[in-house]
Structure 1
Amino acid sequence: MSSSLQTLLAEPQLAQQLLSEAQTRGFVTAMAAAPYLIDPSEWLAFMWGGEETSPFASHEELEAYANAIVDLWNASREALLTGTWQWPEGCALDDKELVTPDTREFAEGLLQGWQLARDDWETVMPQESENNALLGGVLLCFSLLYDPESAMEALAQEGADNLAQFEEIFQSVPTMLCGLTLRAQDLVDNDAE
């Protein structure tokens, strides 16, 4: 994440109105993974709760924020399509809380962003298709990471070694998310031909 974006997100008057850094990364990653490109002008306002008026004091500040978000989107999209996307710094497992707050917030932001692209995902990977299982698996992983306590209960009911299983889920996310993005891109490209 660029230092200018980190600076904007750290400003006290903006920090309360904008998604946190981890939520921002998650949301932008969801937009970068979407099967069809969605113009940032269509989703940028969701970064401050969907309000019509932005929380920025000046047009220059808004422009700097928008440019930093687009740069983050470009970097995320490239990493997803080249299979090199990794968890952002701060996202990790935690002995005490299962996941760090950044991991939980990243998952929350990604799930929020997914809602905006949901129709596109359902068009490309309809419910009865085998591709839908891949999409469902990725969404399930992020849901579990967003609410790890419930995940641990569910894993315990299944008789799984919950901590090892949970660690495996966390470790598999980059591969699954890159694979999902690449599969969706293939489907979109084949559909266009």
Structure 2
Amino acid sequence: MASNKKSSPKVKMPLDENLRRLSAFLMQNKRPEQTLCLAQLQGFLFAVSGAPYEIEAEDWLPVIFNEQEPAFQSDDEADAVLEVVMALYNYLDQQIEERKVALPANCLPADAWEDNFAKSSPFRLWCSGFLIGHGWLEECWEGLEEALDEEIGSAMMVMSFYAERELAVDFHADYAEPDESFEVMAEAMLAEFDEAMVRYADIGAMLRSDNEQE
């Protein structure tokens, strides 16, 4: 089985061919219901890598398959799938350590904001996976000082705004400026997305470092 050992500083993004195979595996009907797709997995792993504590692979791997058996056909298939998943995790971990976080090339948002709410939008799916990961790790973020808690809350809203349109409507109702239309807020969320990713990762890395020294 795959190890959760920290990767070397020169770990690379998995090859496109391996990502396509992983995507096909995750999408097969034999997978458990609500298994994460590739874009969701990438968002989920960003939340895991950016958490204030290091999360063991044995804890987060089951979440990918909705806490059910993945139905691997063989040990070789299991090893191949988990190797790519761990490579993705290690690559994201390295990005956070080097302060070079960015959306994967396959998950970039569309120029037209409304297109990013489409069910098949890779960007929406990344945001959905991130929201799943942050929600699963919610207890890790408890007890922050007020300023950091507000920053994480703000970053989380930006990165989950496009996860579901209904959620975005709720965010607009609760947090929009007076007379700020939904369209204006939606465009602002896109404009702030990259900065929100960086801030979320930076705060998580800072807290993880502090926790490891305790």
Q: TM-score range by the shorter chain?
A: 0.7 to 0.9
Identity of aligned residues (%): 21
* Change over 3 Å in CA distance of 1:163–1:84 after alignment to 2: farther
Q: Tell me if 1:4 matches 2:18.
A: yes
Counterpart in 1 of 2:45? 28
Deviates more, 1:149-158 or 1:1-10: 149-158
Q: Tell me if 1:79 matches 2:99.
A: no
Which residue type is aligned with residue 76 of structure 1? L
Segments of 4+ moved more than 6 angstroms: none
Q: Tell me if 1:187 matches 2:207.
A: yes
Check conservation: 2:96, 2:205, Cα contact below 8 A.
Answer: no
CA deviations 1:92-124 (Å, max 9, x no partner) are 13537341511211111111111222111114x
Check conservation: 2:30, 2:71, Cα contact below 8 A.
Answer: no
Check conservation: 2:158, 2:193, Cα contact below 8 A.
Answer: yes
Q: Tell me if 1:132 matches 2:149.
A: yes
RMSD: 2.6
With structure 1 as the length reference, what TM-score do the two structures score? 0.83
Stretches of structure 1 lacking an aligned partner (at least 5 in a row):
none
- Deviation for aligned residue 1:69: 1.0
- Deviation for aligned residue 1:25: 0.7
For the residue of structure 2 that corresponds to 1:97, the secondary structure is helix
Q: Tell me if 1:121 matches 2:137.
A: no
Q: Tell me if 1:64 matches 2:80.
A: yes
* Change over 3 Å in CA distance of 1:5–1:190 after alignment to 2: same
Question: How many residues matched?
Answer: 189
Greater fraction helix: 1
* Change over 3 Å in CA distance of 1:63–1:190 after alignment to 2: same
Q: Tell me if 1:104 matches 2:121.
A: no
